[in-house]
Structure 1
Amino acid sequence: MKIVRRIGASPRERGSLSGETCPDIFELSDGNFAVIGTEATAALDGQLPHDAARADHERIVIISRETLLRAKKDIPER
């Protein structure tokens, strides 16, 4: 598995000059996506809807609204 490309604008393009706030989205060679964000499992796990579940190896991660909205144009339809 390898990172194929960034989805959306780079952190620098979104105004992060310090490198301290760098949520990011990447497309992987297997077609999946990887996300860099703020770990929020403890804060949000108990708020998941009844039809949502998280495996022990999964984490809830927050990315900024701007990161996702600017990635929208690069997300493939299929």
Structure 2
Amino acid sequence: MSQIIRRLGVAPRFRGSTNGATCPDIFELADGNFAVIGTDVTDSLDAELPADAARADYERIVVISRETLVRAKADIPDA
């Protein structure tokens, strides 16, 4: 497994998480991939996936807040 090299966006405490109860986050990994901490909504959204989308048994559908992604936008590389 790859290592986390940096957070994209700001730490959860700067987005209002003061007790660690809601901490969506996005990280860039050393291999160039990204890791996301979010709420697992696989059970509720799996049947809603478009016909041309699929997930493997080991994959989960997670939700992050809009603010998390918007605040990370400046840190996401173009290529």
For normalisation by structure 2, the TM-score amounts to 0.97
Offset at residue 19 of structure 1 (A): 0.7
Distance in 2 (CA, whole Å) between partners of 1:68 and 1:75 is 10
Instruction: Name 1:3's counterpart in structure 2.
Output: 4
More helix per residue: 1 or 2?
2
Would you say 1:51 and 2:66 are equivalent positions?
Answer: no
Instruction: Name 2:66's counterpart in structure 1.
Output: 65
Q: Which amino acid aligns with 1:41?
A: T
Q: How many residues align?
A: 78
Deviations 1:30-49 (A, max 9, x none): 00000000000000000000
Structure 2: give runs of 5+ residues left out of the alignment. none
**RMSD of equivalent CA atoms:** 0.4
Moved more, 27-36 or 9-18: 9-18
Name the SS of the counterpart of 1:8 in structure 2: coil
Distance in 2 (CA, whole Å) between partners of 1:55 and 1:8 is 28
Deviations 1:49-76 (A, max 9, x none): 0000000010000000000010000000
For normalisation by structure 1, the TM-score amounts to 0.98
Which 4+ stretches in 1 moved above 2 angstroms? none
Would you say 1:18 and 2:16 are equivalent positions?
Answer: no
Deviations 1:9-30 (A, max 9, x none): 1101111111100000000000
Structure 1: give runs of 5+ residues left out of the alignment. none
